[in-house]
Amino acid sequence: MPTIFFSKKSENYLKKAAEELKVAFGIIIGQKTSDDKYNIIHFAKLSEDEESISSSAPETIPSIENVDVQSLADQWISASKMTPGSFSVIGVFMSNGENDSNDEKQTKNIKKMLTELYKLTTNSNSTFEYAEHTKDLEILFLSYAASSSKANVKIFSNSSSGGNLMPADCKIVEKLPQWYLFESNYELEDVFPITDNREQVNIENQFNAVLQAVKSNIQNSKIFIQQQNVDDNSTLENYLKENNNKKNEVPVFNASILLTANVSNEFLIKIRPFNGTVRFSGIVSSRIWSQAKNTFKEIKESIRRDVLRSLAARIQIYCDGLTDIHSNTVGIVVNEPPRRIYFCNSESQGIQFSEYIFRGETPSVAVSQAKQILDMDINSDCIFDDLEGLPDDEVTSLIDEPIKAETSIKTNGGFEISRTMYMLGITVALLVLLLSVLLNYLFL
């Protein structure tokens, strides 16, 4: 039987939510391991700004019958963009004074709600489908009774008959095991063709086509841990023992993503006419968290998912902000999607969520989003905004300017020299070389 774990701190959150709202609904964020164990790291109730209860019954105490499933789906999708790739939104919760989820009528209502939630999330027109495993999506439903301090969990799987609910064991522990951080940077420097022959092309469609190509690349990539090719079946626990890691030491692991030479990519192996190009340039920062029992196969898949999720999230955020989704293929257009920043709070066990900000926006944007979507209070000291730098203004400005004869070349030291001076230096060096050869010939 599947087993669900969450900490005493998380239980206190459920109790407080029930006290404030009588009946509270929200999402569950956690991690599922290969042995059917679920570790819940965060509960987030629906924001008070959200219309979580149907307007048809404003005076009714919140219940499964009148909860607005669309609000839950919106929170689910928004939180998925902010969650690191090692975790996912894995379900919804209901916290109230009594636990009546075993009632036959209540079970029917749960199935109806989760079926609708499944359809809303998997049929979303966002980039959600590119980074998530939506076809086999399972949804946890956790009902917590504050009066008896008991939690009842069921797992929903979709079917043509309206979905199935399976029981699961639930354990509330004092504290979840230690989490280990894996950091990596995925560098993008690729040019992809625009095959649409219309003068006006859909920007989002082009970006999504590129995302599919990147997905193919990264799924076939090799990931090295600490510059080592670690066996996928080995666990992090064994790796720590083999490398004599001290018990009190919690290292940060470096992960390197390398593309294999035999990557099959339809954009790279076919010769065909195109109407323009899309160039992706920059670095995608990735941070994921793992427990010692996780295998390296699970860890590597989490890294891949995090990169794809981050790319998909910033593309969707950028496209949602466009006044016109179409672009002219004549000329050069510079698009600057938002960059990724991280944040955490005192109760997150060091696990960081992420948000995306545009040029000119301050990291404080993450504060309001964390509160609204994740019901998480953070301060500016817990925001990490220096892992992805802004694009170089001097480089992007050259796109709109004609190339001049005296083009500047910037050296690593930051000094600028003109092309004329550069050629003059080479000429002088050649003259010195010729003079040396001539003198050597005359005096020998």
Look up the CATH number of the domain holding residue 152.
3.40.140.10
Pairwise CA distance, residues 361 & 336, whole Å: 13
Higher local confidence (pLDDT), 283 or 443: 283
Residue 373 lies in a domain: no
Lowest mean pLDDT among 41-55, 310-324, 413-427, 428-442: 413-427
In this prediction, residue 282 carries a pLDDT of 85
In this prediction, residue 399 carries a pLDDT of 37
> Can you give the C-alpha Rg of the chain in angstroms?
27
User: Which amino acid belongs to residue 87?
Assistant: F
- Model confidence pLDDT, tens digit, residues 263-288: 455 555 566 677 777 888 888 999 99
- Rank 389-393, 419-423, 424-428 by mean pLDDT and report only the highest: 424-428
Per-residue pLDDT averaged across 5-16, rounded?
94
Higher local confidence (pLDDT), 105 or 409: 105
Pairwise CA distance, residues 94 & 102, whole Å: 13
At residue 156, does pLDDT exceed 50?
yes
Mark whether 200 and 271 lie in a shared domain: yes
- From 173, 200, 215, the end of a domain falls on 173
Mean residue pLDDT of the chain comes to: 80
409: tokens are: 């070349």
Mark whether 166 and 185 lie in a shared domain: no
In this prediction, residue 354 carries a pLDDT of 93
Mark whether 119 and 199 lie in a shared domain: no
432: containing domain: 408-443
Structure-token match 């924001």, residue found? 47
Lowest mean pLDDT among 157-161, 217-221, 228-232: 157-161
- Model confidence pLDDT, tens digit, residues 165-185: 899 999 999 999 899 999 999
- Rank 51-60, 192-201, 412-421 by mean pLDDT and report only the highest: 192-201
In contact, 100 and 324? CB cutoff 8 Å: no
Mark whether 131 and 215 lie in a shared domain: no
Residue 371 lies in a domain: no
- From 337, 357, 372, the end of a domain falls on 337
Mark whether 187 and 158 lie in a shared domain: no
How would residue 192 be classed by pLDDT, with cut points 50, 70 and 90?
confident
In this prediction, residue 298 carries a pLDDT of 93
In this prediction, residue 125 carries a pLDDT of 58
Mark whether 143 and 211 lie in a shared domain: no
Mark whether 186 and 143 lie in a shared domain: no
Domain count, the chain: 3
- Model confidence pLDDT, tens digit, residues 351-375: 999 999 998 888 888 888 899 999 9
Residue 121 lies in a domain: yes
In this prediction, residue 287 carries a pLDDT of 95
Pairwise CA distance, residues 340 & 286, whole Å: 9
At residue 208, does pLDDT exceed 60?
yes
Higher local confidence (pLDDT), 74 or 137: 74
Which percentage of the chain shows pLDDT scores above 90?
A: 36
Mark whether 200 and 303 lie in a shared domain: yes
In this prediction, residue 307 carries a pLDDT of 93
Mark whether 297 and 428 lie in a shared domain: no
Higher local confidence (pLDDT), 205 or 402: 205
Closest CA to 122 of 157, 168, 87: 157
Residue 399 lies in a domain: no
Lowest mean pLDDT among 1-10, 16-25, 53-62: 53-62
Residue 362 lies in a domain: no
Mark whether 158 and 137 lie in a shared domain: yes
At residue 309, does pLDDT exceed 70?
yes
At residue 54, does pLDDT exceed 50?
no
How would residue 245 be classed by pLDDT, with cut points 50, 70 and 90?
low
In this prediction, residue 127 carries a pLDDT of 56
Mark whether 297 and 219 lie in a shared domain: yes
Pairwise CA distance, residues 174 & 177, whole Å: 10
Mark whether 437 and 326 lie in a shared domain: no
- From 337, 361, 386, the end of a domain falls on 337
Per-residue pLDDT averaged across 116-140, rounded?
72
